[in-house]
Amino acid sequence: MNTTKRVIKGRLVNALTMALLDLTLATTAFAHHSQSEFDSNLPVKVQGTVSKVEWKSPHARLYVDVKQDDGGIVNWNFELPSPNTLMRRGWTRNALQPGDEVTVSGYRARNFPTIGIGKVVTGKDGKAIFAGSQE
């Protein structure tokens, strides 16, 4: 095989490899940040008590116990930005603790009535603890 054919074959293999890699990464990113998971037509605002905060990548999670009219408790699970993003916006691991009273506004998941994406978290005093768009 002459040099020109070898160069062309090498470039073709590189191009196909990069295309496959791009497709794989794009599919993974789309699956992780599915635009259909949360619905902006399903706004939610709940007031309750923090039961747990998970400070993990790729997204932090905030669990809030919400008292129902019948006296029962429903545990909401809110996705938040990554811990790195929260830290850049002033949060620390101790910004919220179990037992803290909060109000969370955001959007509900399409297929899960007590899962949402948190857009604004305010404390008992009404002061925003977190406000911003999801990454």
Same domain, yes or no: 67 and 1: no
Rounded Cα–Cα distance for residues 36 and 103 (Å): 24
Q: What is the number of structural domains in the chain?
A: 2
Domain containing 20 equals 1-32
Same domain, yes or no: 81 and 107: yes
Same domain, yes or no: 4 and 61: no
- Render pLDDT for 75-133 as a digit per residue (tens, 0 to 9): 999 999 999 999 998 888 888 999 999 999 999 999 999 999 999 999 999 888 877 65
Tell whether omega for the bond before 113 is within 30 degrees of 0, i.e. cis.
no
Going by pLDDT thresholds of 50, 70 and 90, the confidence category of residue 21 is very low
pLDDT of residue 109: 95
Dihedral sign of CA atoms 9, 11, 12, 13 in order:
positive
Q: What is the CATH number of the domain that holds 50?
A: 2.40.50.140
Same domain, yes or no: 115 and 53: yes
Same domain, yes or no: 28 and 44: no
Same domain, yes or no: 124 and 72: yes
Nearest 5°: phi and psi at 110?
Answer: -60, -45
Is the predicted pLDDT of residue 16 greater than 80, yes or no? no
Torsional class of 71: left (φ above 0), alpha (ψ -120 to 50), beta (otherwise): left
Q: Which residues contact 56 (CB under 8 A, 6 or more apart)?
A: 83
Amino acid at 85: T
Same domain, yes or no: 3 and 57: no
Same domain, yes or no: 28 and 59: no
